[in-house]
Each structure stands twice: as structure tokens, then as C-alpha cells.
Amino acid sequence: MARQNGNLNTGNNKKLDYSKKKLKTIPSEVLEDTDISILDLDRNRLKDTLGISTLTNLRELILSRNELLDFPLEIKQLFHLEKLYLNQNKIQNIPEGIFSQLQKLELLKLSTNRLSKLPSDISCCKNLQHLGLSHNYLKELNEAVADLPKLKELFVDNNRLSELPARLFENKNLTTFRAAANRLREPPDEVCAGGLKQIRRYFSQLSSSQADYIHRVKTMFLGSSMAGKSTLCRSLQEGKVVTVSVADRTVGIEISEVQKEDFSFLFWDFAGQEEYYLTHHVFITPQALVILVINLKSYSIGDPQSFKEEVSFWINNVLMRVPDSVVLPVGTHIDKCENSEEIKEKKADIEINIKKMLDEREARLEQRRKNIREKMEPALFSDQTCRLDQVTGYNLKVLDFIAIDGTNQADIEYLQAQILECVQNKDLFPNIEKKLPRVYQTVESSIRDLLKDHKVPDHGIVSLNALLSDINCKLTKIDKDDLKDILRYLHRIGIIMWYEDIPALIDTVFVKPSFLIALFKTIVRHDLENQLKKIPKDLLMSENALVKHRRKWVEDFHRNATLHNTAMRLLVKMSLLKENSPEDEDFMEEIAGTKQEGGKLLRLLKHFEICLATKLSNPLNPDAMEFSPDSLWKMPQSAIPNDACMFPSYLKNNDLVSQKWGEDKVDDINIHIYLLPEIPQGLFHRLIIKVCSLYAPHWVGREKCLVISNAKCLLLKENHEEDDQFIEIRCRRPQKLVSSIEFQTTWDMILAIMCKMAKLEEQWPGLCRTVCSPCTVNGCSADFDWPDKNESESFYDMVKQDMVTCDNGHTQRTEFLFPKGRKV
């Protein structure tokens, strides 16, 4: 293999690499080299590709991450093309008559463009195996796509599709298909998310049975504590005012279903106290109507904190997690306001501030885009620009504010009418109608009947096989795969819960989600310490525990946010007994676990990264005594119990971590991960749990965490006080400057954490991140932005030069700021 001036010869494939060269036109020396077969023009500034038709021997053409607005027509003369990359441009239209000429095409990447339709002659590409169309504006997927016999991989996620052609799935070669984030009605998104097998079965069920057209809207009530969420939720459900006493606070989440005209509303009432936020991410799902309830009496005009707590916190969290949602702000307690003037002023203040916060977010995203365009080398940041485009493309709709008295019948009726009008609005909810084979509805109603007729236990926890046989007693036979499809669908819309991706729970179906949530709330609740104190003596005895143990549990929980497994078991038992569940030892064990093995609840808590087993931190205690063969080795007393779980969100301070870490130093290796609009609630604590399961030992505080590996300390810090919110990663700079392996191990550790962070961020599609390293010269405020990393290159090649200079002229070694470390 020989390489010279971007010219690479690999056997018969002569390749020219002209990527990342800021090119605006294709250089003449490239156009003259007519025997090249691979041309890489990735990450340039090409607006067209004039002259490319001379390169008739091209088999692979890479034009991704350029500035193409139109499809380059000359490409149709490149008859030998097998691979064509046009992703991340701004192409709006592809005329007919191009693909009919490109019959050898095997791979076509068109994702992240502005296409609203595909030409029908794409069907001429009979050899096409990979077709990438994600992140476009496609409203329909041509039948032509179904005429590609060799198609193996098709990506159409993040478009505007409402239907998929059934014939496409008759192609047995199709093995990879992604269609998320489309608002599909046929098959519904929840069916598509089940994968190809489920989609194929869906179409076959439709062809052999009748279809039902379902109009169901998940309606989530969010808002701070005592805003009036439960009052509205229950009143809307009953159709008349229901008074909720203050003592009857929502603990966790409550669910109910209501039929109004053609629509079925699935109401989810979220508790407003902060301790419950950490389970919200489990339940907040896309395509819902969010009713944001604001107590107008307690709302204070001109007080940024009040706006933050009552309004912006909720809107931002919806915006980050389910960015395409519709939010209806509802002000309550108007009867408690002084006069109509107060109501009017508060309403106006909230509306103005909501607009301001959304505009501000957009302006900051635009500013970032501008910075990249003007100050940096855009080619090195094109993936980030593309992500900025995607994030700004999401359209959170905040409807007009409604002010009501939640205790007044006329106001409840008015709100009900407004909600109905809103879900009937095709612009807001374009594909609310979902088409389903009859068997989906039949299974759903037979599960309901089984519960009503007490054929399944009241707690609604059943095994998959038992459910299958119960349903089959009532119905004409359905097989296990059909049942799994339907359960998967019902889980996604929130009617039942079935966690098939947790191996230990694959056989367990929670047909009554409210029971599962009730279980969650035994542990995740605002008054947990009090609950611990309330465990009665007779229950303590059942676990061979004494009052002094209970005292220790309270103390450990208070001090370290650790909850002993025995205490957890007893809390669950206490709650089960309170719910009047029959005292069934086996069931208790199944849920609460035993001394030897954690129960189903603990598995769920761990799966959702709400807690971490403390024993993970014990084996590598850095304070452990040195072992010497002739003396007895005594383990030091650990402050943290072994058989317990730590809940970082219950921690109150950072004292222990700060004490272990000491002062920050100006020459620390330091990375800031900025998150816009803000750090989502719960993200940092989940990051801690991920990181602590990677590194032991660790010390955890509310906004800080310290981990140790290879005798290196790494500090993670959440900075959310200021407008700019970021997560900071800090390590001491290796002292032996000559030893590059020291740098490499430090950077390896940082990169491992950044990978965990990136994985976590995927769950907040509306979140925008930038990573930078602050200049290490004392007093300098400049930052070094992290460029994109090519899929093919290592982080260690992201910045190639050995020295870098900040905007204020300070030059320093690259490994102080970016992953670098000479290979050893």
C-alpha cells in the first residue's frame, strides 16, 4: 500500500483522500486523475461537484458533510458507482432519471438532508443493499423501496412518515430496519419499536383479520408539589370536581384511563416532590399531551426562582426528554388570587417568560452554530453542527395558557373541552389514530377482564406463561410470540409493564402498572427516613432484627444515603401489608428478595440506575491494611455496610468527597461537558452510578463523586448553579511529564467516563452538548473546544499537533488538554 499526497493505492482500488480540506470546488488534479475508483471528499465546503462526471471509473464517492443544496446531477454519469455517501448535506430534492443510471449501486447514504420524497426510479437500483434516509422530511416511503430485492438495511428514523408499505416487509433479505421518531399510525411506532419480526407479524395479522382504529392519548400531569395535578386529573376522570385533601398527596405516579368521545385518555399523574423526579425518566414517554399545572396563588411575578420551580424546570425536562411534545400550561387556584388583575398579570408573566426561555435556548444554539462557522474549522465540527440542526428541528409546542379554579365544576368542564379540542387538532397530533390488528384489542380487553374477574392476583404480577394460558382459555388461540408482540406494544403505551430486556424479569408481566409504581414508591419517596423509623417491632422480628438495627439503618440512610437490604425488604413488606395484599411468603420473597438474593424490585431499581449495590465499592478499599504473610490480616472497619444500596439522589452534601479530593489545582486535567438548556434532572446521579460500577473504590456526594483507578483520582462534579450548566471531569496532571504512559492512563480513564456519559445522553434527544478543556494557564478564561472524532479514528488522533495555543495566546502541550499520549 502506498500513500502520497492523499493518494492511496490498495490493489485495483486507487483512492484519493481529499477529506477535511475546506474545499469549495473539486481541485483540477482530482478531476484529471480519471482512473481513481475511490474519492473521499468528506467534510469539505462543496456546494456542487462540477466536473465529477469525468471520473467515470469511480466506484465509491464520499460527499458526506458538505454544503450541497441540490443533488449533483453529474453523478448520473458515474455508471460504475457502488457506494455513494451524501449524508449530512442540505439536499431537498432528487429528480427522476438519476438512479435509473446507477444500477450498480449497493450503498446509498442520504441521511440528514432535507428530502421530502424519493424518486420512484430508485427501484432501478436492484443491487442496493444499504439505504440510509434517517433525519429527513419524508412524508411517505415509496412503494419503489419495496422493489429493491437485495435491500438488507433500511434506516428511515426521524422522518415524518405515517405509514410503511406492507410489501417492503415481504423482502426476506431485509434484516435491519429503523423507523423510530416518525409518528407512525400504520404500523404504530410502538409496534415498529418491536423490530422487524413484530412488523412482519403485524402486517400478516392485518391481512388475515379485521383492523381497529384506536385514538389513545397519553396525558401526563406535571408540575411542582401542591399545584393541583391530582385534583385536575381526578376531576377530569370523574367529569366532576373531586376534592383531594392535602394529606392525600400523590406518592410516585398514578394512572387512570378515561374515555371521552372517540378518545381514550391515559392519565398519568406525577408527584411533584423532588425525590420522585428520579423515577420520572422511566415513565415520561414521547407523543404525549403534557399538562403543566401551575399554582397561580403561589406563583410570584418577577421572581426567577418561582418561574424556575413552577415552570421552566418542567418545560426544559420535557423539551430534553421528549422534544416533540405538546405542553398545555394550566394555572390553578385562581379563586385564591386577590382579583382578576392578579390572574391576568401572572398569566402574562408566565407566557412572556416561557417565550423568553424558548427564544433564549434557540439563540444559544444559534450562537454555538455561529461560533463554529466563524471561529473554528467547520469541517472539524460538522457532526456537532448537524446535531445542532437536529435539536433545533424539534418542535416543542406550548399551547395558550388556561387559568382555572380546580374546585369549580364549570372550569373543569371548560378544561375538558379545551383538551378535547387540542387532541382533535391535526397540526398538534397529526397521527393520533393508530391502526391495529383486531387481536391487539382483544388481548388488551381480556387482560382487563382477567383483572376485573380476579383471575389474576390483585397485584397484577403474573408469569408470561400463566398469562398466555389464561388468555387462551378465553380466546381463540394466540401463540407466545403474538402475546409478546402485544405486551411489548402495551408496555410502550403504558397499559402494562413488561421489562423483557432485564433477563431476570423476562418472564414477569406487571399487568397493573400502578402496583409496580406503588412498589417503587416504597423506596423512592420524600419521607423515606420517617418510613424507616415506622417499621414496627413485630416486622423487625421477622427479619431477626432489633430496634438498634433500625436505628442504624436510619443513621446510615441519613448520613450516607445507603439503605440496608434488610430495611428495604421490610419497607416493601410493610407496604404490601398496608395494601392489604394477602401475606404470601413466596410473593414477598419474589418482590422483596431474601438475604441471599435481591428481589424483583431491587433489580428494577438497579436497572433504572436509581441505586448502586455498596458491595461494589468494598473490595478495593484504599485504606485497607497492608498484607504481610506472618501477621493476621484485619480488615479495616468500613463505614459503608456491605449488604446495602446507595441512592446518590438522597445525599445531602459533598463534604466527604471534597475532603478526599482537596483543592482544585490550576494544572489539573480538566474537561467541561456543557449541556443545553440545562442538566436534566437525574442525569448526574445516574452517571455516578454508572461510573461507580466501573471504578472501585469511590466516594459519592450530592454533586460530586471521586473514583480511583490505577492510583489516579478522578473527580466528577455537577455545576448547575449558573446559567451555563456543565459536568466537570478533573484529574491531577501526571507529574512525570516525560512518561507519556501516565498521560495515556489518565486519558483512558477520562474517556471511559465520557463514553458512559455519551450513552446516557442518548436518552435525552433534545439535549445539546459541547465539550471543552479550559486553558491551563492561571487566570486565562479561554477554552479549547473538542472537535468531532471520526468514526474510524481514535480519540488519541482527534487533535494531531503536539502543541496548541488558546485564543489568548497561551501555548501548551496537547496532552494537558486533549487525549494524547505517545503510544507505548
Nearer to ligand GTP, 141 or 328 (CB): 328
H or E element, residue 197 = helix 196-208
Whether the Cβ atoms of residue 438 and residue 211 lie closer than 8 Å to each other: yes
431 and 183 Cβ atoms separated by less than 8 Å = yes
What is the 8-class DSSP label of residue 111? Answer: -
Place of cell 420520572: 280
The DSSP H or E segment spanning 218 is strand 211-222
Residue type, 172: K
Q: Which is nearer to ligand GTP, 245 or 801 (CB)?
A: 245
Residue 250 binding ligand GTP, by CB under 6 A: yes
Cell numbers placing 390: 437536529
Based on the shown chain and the rule CB under 6 A, indicate whether residue 279 belongs to the binding site for ligand GTP.
Answer: no
Cell 406487571 belongs to: 510
Q: By the 8 A CB rule, do 639 and 616 touch? A: no
Residue with cell 387538532: 425
* CB contact at 8 A, 668 and 726: no
Nearer to ligand GTP, 333 or 769 (CB): 333
CA 54 vs. chain centroid, Å, equals 46
Least distance (Å) from ligand GTP to the CB of residue 608?
21
Grid cell, residue 651, equals 445525599
The site map against ligand GTP for 285-304 (x = CB under 6 A) is --------x-----------
Stretch that binds ligand GTP, among 308-316, 401-409, 509-517, 646-654 (CB under 6 A): 401-409
Is residue 704 within the footprint of ligand GTP (CB under 6 A)? no
Q: How far is the CB of 510 from ligand GTP (least distance, A)?
A: 23
- Member of 72, 119, 252, 272 binding ligand GTP (CB under 6 A): 272
Residues in a beta bridge with 508: 463
Q: Write down the least CB distance from residue 702 to ligand GTP, Å.
A: 22
User: Alpha-carbon distance 129 to 126, whole Å?
Assistant: 9
Give the interface segment with ligand GTP, choosing from 139-147, 154-162, 312-320, 332-340 (CB under 6 A): 332-340
The span of 159-167, 405-413, 465-473, 571-579 binding ligand GTP (CB under 6 A) equals 405-413
- For residue 514, the minimal CB distance to ligand GTP (Å) is 15
Count of residues engaged in binding ligand GTP, rule: CB under 6 A: 25
Contacts of ligand GTP in 217-246 (CB under 6 A):
223, 225-231, 243-246
Q: Is 271 in the site for ligand GTP (CB under 6 A)?
A: yes
Minimum CB distance to ligand GTP smaller for 10 or for 243:
243
Amino acid letter, 387: R
In the bound state with ligand GTP, the residue whose beta carbon lies nearer, of 123 and 295, is: 295
What is the maximum span of the chain, computed from C-alpha positions, in angstroms?
A: 89
**To the nearest whole angstrom, how small is the minimum distance from the Cβ of residue 173 to ligand GTP?**
52
68 close to 86: Cβ distance less than 8 angstroms: yes
Q: Shortest approach of ligand GTP to residue 401 CB, angstroms? A: 14
CB of residue 721 to ligand GTP, shortest distance in Å: 26
Q: Is 280 in the site for ligand GTP (CB under 6 A)?
A: no
Nearer to ligand GTP by Cβ, of 284 and 592: the residue is 284
Using CB under 6 A as the binding rule, whether residue 335 contacts ligand GTP is answered as yes
Q: Please, which contacts does 474-483 make with residues 24 or more away whose CB atoms are closer than 8 Å?
A: 474/446, 474/449, 474/450, 475/442, 475/443, 475/446, 478/439, 478/443, 481/197, 481/201, 482/201, 482/205, 482/439, 482/443, 483/443
CB of 615 to ligand GTP, least distance (A): 35
> Looking at beta carbons only, is 295 or 770 nearer to ligand GTP?
295
336 binds ligand GTP (CB under 6 A): yes
Cα Rg, the chain, nearest whole Å: 29
Query: Least Å distance between CB 262 and ligand GTP?
Result: 28
- The yes or no reply on residue 512 touching ligand GTP (CB under 6 A) is no
Task: Give the chain's end-to-end CA distance (angstroms, integer).
Answer: 25
Cell of 315: 418545560
Residue 405 touches ligand GTP, criterion: CB under 6 A: yes
Q: Which residue has the cell 409546542?
A: 397
Shortest distance, position 98 Cβ to ligand GTP, whole Å: 57
Q: Could you tell me the smallest distance in angstroms from the CB atom of residue 403 to ligand GTP?
A: 9
How far apart are CB 407 and ligand GTP at their closest, in Å?
Answer: 5
Q: Which is nearer to ligand GTP, 228 or 599 (CB)?
A: 228
333: left (phi over 0), alpha (psi -120 to 50) or beta: left
Q: Specify the 3-state DSSP secondary structure of 505.
A: helix
Distance CA 630, CA 447 (A): 66
Kindly identify the residues of this chain, within the stretch 36-95, that bind ligand GTP according to CB under 6 A.
none
Task: Give 68 or 318: the residue with its C-beta nearer to ligand GTP.
Answer: 318
Distance CA 102, CA 160 (A): 27
Answer yes or no whether residue 249 interacts with ligand GTP by CB under 6 A: yes
**Shortest spacing between CB 310 and ligand GTP, in angstroms:** 11
Under rule CB under 6 A, residue 306 binds ligand GTP: no
User: Which is it for the CA torsion 813, 814, 817, 820, positive or negative?
Assistant: negative
Considering only residues 87, 325, 332, 654, which one is a binding residue for ligand GTP as defined by CB under 6 A?
332
Helix (H, G, I), strand (E, B) or coil at 80: coil
Q: Distance between CA atoms of 55 and 77, rounded to whole angstroms? A: 9
Q: Supply the minimum distance, in Å, between the C-beta of residue 141 and ligand GTP.
A: 43
Q: Which residue among 333, 492, 521, 698 contacts ligand GTP (CB under 6 A)? A: 333
C-beta closer to ligand GTP: residue 250 or 654: 250
Is 331 a binding residue for ligand GTP by CB under 6 A? The answer is: no
Give me the helices (H) in 561-682, please: 565-578, 585-592, 600-607, 655-661
Whose Cβ is closer to ligand GTP: residue 225's or residue 256's? 225
Bridging pattern class, strands 726-731 and 712-719? antiparallel
Binding site for ligand GTP (CB under 6 A): 223, 225-231, 243-246, 249-250, 271-273, 293, 332-333, 335-336, 405-407
